[in-house]
Structure 1
């Protein structure tokens, strides 16, 4: 049976704060076991068992389950960009950062700043919002004390521990700079009135004139065809839906069955929009 080992004091304190951590191999960012990030925990018994199994390991905190956003600020040396200068420029332009927990990284002596993540949509790509600044959120993780840098062997230490200063909310200006770009809206190019009316009437008559036993199958086929027009941005889905539902009522297709068939057909057509229409 695996005996437990005392938890390092700094690690013990962050676990009490609800930070979810997992072990990494000494002098590395590689996890000690497969799926470690998904199993990150603040449970002290589990952490103690990991400490016993890997006594010289380092530690990383997973941002999402810990409710954290972390901003890694690089210094020149082991990094090409100067994140310290980039962050200073942003602060001059947008306003001061609130007091927050902060580590001293074991590489070039940069820093990781910790904020509370309250569900804001944030990009997590290196170099945002400026070169030398690396945001981390969700399933992403950062190294915390105790641990050493894989390239330099330098130790990670706390400049401002989270049990002294709790993580503050992300400043609004920083969250705005890291917000993902809005989705590109495709322009809607409706058919001319005569063409649209003809397309809708053909669908209506096809359902009404379908052979016995084929009304629902025809309704599905026509919904798919109109859905492709909708997917191309040439027909409004609500208009297509209402026309098909009217046809189903004229053909006495049960209402619940008709609605399900129309929805399924339109959805399938939307996934394969017409091209060159």
Structure 2
């Protein structure tokens, strides 16, 4: 039954590329949920080819372990991806030999690389206008087939059975890496806790004569608010204040009572966290 499969398609299926059929007139998938059912099983592909003769084909990147870079040519596209890619290569270094198609629309190209699980952005125009990356559940058209608008045929410039997909160049993966996630506000605030503890220690030790216990109470209340917001360890706050009180020679029983009162009051009124600054 596999004799119904176009020869080039059979070859990529044998390489583990997961494909799905698309309507020739629109490039829309021939059935609902096709991306999740993309396969490299020749028997299934043969049934699809028999059911939708003359259909186009797309490869789904994720299960095929592929990263595809669509390079637009000016004309049917606003941006010149060929020039953009050439500029990146001049700046960062050459691309390794890789499979490449000639697209049926603008006559651009799709470059195929092996995807080893790197986190990559997939938005159009990354890393430059005219360059569209594809990975994961994204799919790209491969031969055989024709562009629905121009009628231009998709062909292999460099077929993958001659040159297997190489790893993504490090510089290209770096340009496509997702932006670092901002640190959660609570974590950012918690990172400031050691400095707050140190300032509380110095404030008590350096308090004016007759103001040591009042300062201890005020600092205990402030640290209690940090503890109440979950940004400081209660035991660490208590130990720091007790150490400051001992250095200032505040009587132990008096210091403990003041610290307990101040911390408890602060716990009842925790500091809000806004943008990482409590």
1:49 aligns with 2:63: no
Native 8 Å contact 2:224 2:234 kept in 1: no
**Residue in structure 2 matching 1:177, options 175, 178, 188:** 175
**CA deviation string 1:84-123 (max 9, x = no partner):** 0000011111111000000000001000000000011110
Tell me by how many angstroms 1:240 deviates: 5.6
1:150 CA drift (Å): 2.1
SS in 1 for 2:149: coil
Specify the alignment match of 1:33 in structure 2: 31
Q: Which residue of 1 aligns with 2:67?
A: 69
| Aligned equivalent of 2:107 | 109
Structure 1 position 76, deviation (Å): 0.3
Rounded Cα–Cα distance in structure 1 between residues aligned with 2:236 and 2:65: 45
Q: Distance in 1 between matches of 2:133 and 2:68?
A: 6
By how many angstroms is 1:69 displaced?
A: 0.1
Distance in 2 (alpha carbons) for counterparts of 1:108 and 1:122: 25
Larger CA deviation: 183-192 vs 134-143: 183-192
For structure 1, the residue ranges without an aligned partner over 5 or more in a row are 202-225, 244-272
User: Is this contact kept in 2: 1:115–1:167, CA < 8 A?
Assistant: yes
Cα RMSD after superposing both structures: 2.3
What pairs up with 1:169-248 in 2 under 5 angstroms? 169-185=167-183, 186=185, 187-188=188-189, 189-190=192-193, 193=200, 194-195=220-221, 197-199=223-225, 226=228, 229-230=229-230, 235-236=231-232, 239=233
Shift of 1:4: 7.1
Q: CA 1:196–1:85 in structure 2 vs 1: closer, same or farther (change >3 Å)?
A: same
With the length of structure 1 as denominator, give the TM-score of the two structures: 0.72
* Cα displacement (A) at 1:274: 3.9
Tell me how far apart the structure 2 counterparts of residues 32 and 17 of structure 1 sit (CA, whole Å). Answer: 23
In structure 1, distance between residues paired with 2:38 and 2:236? 50
Q: Offset of 1:44 from its aligned partner?
A: 0.5
Per the TM alignment, residue 153 of structure 1 is displaced from its structure 2 partner at its CA by 1.4
Q: Which residue of 2 aligns with 1:89?
A: 87
Aligned length in residues = 214
SS at match of 1:12: helix
Rounded Cα–Cα distance in structure 1 between residues aligned with 2:226 and 2:159:
66
- In structure 2, do the counterparts of structure 1 residues 8 and 242 end up closer, same or farther at CA, with 3 Å as the change threshold? farther
Q: What corresponds to 1:20 in structure 2?
A: 18
Give the Cα–Cα distance (whole angstroms) in 1 for the partners of residues 2 and 109 of structure 2.
32
Check 1:104–1:196 CA distance in 2 against 1; reply closer, same or farther (3 A cut).
same
Q: 1:198 to 1:242 in 2, by over 3 A?
A: closer
Gap change, CA 1:200 and 1:130, over 3 Å in 2: closer
Partner in structure 2 of residue 139 of structure 1: 137
Match of 1:100 among 98, 101, 104: 98
Give the 3 Å change call, closer, same or farther, for CA 274–37 of structure 1 in structure 2.
same
Counterpart check, 1:167 vs 2:165: yes
2:118 equivalent in structure 1: 120
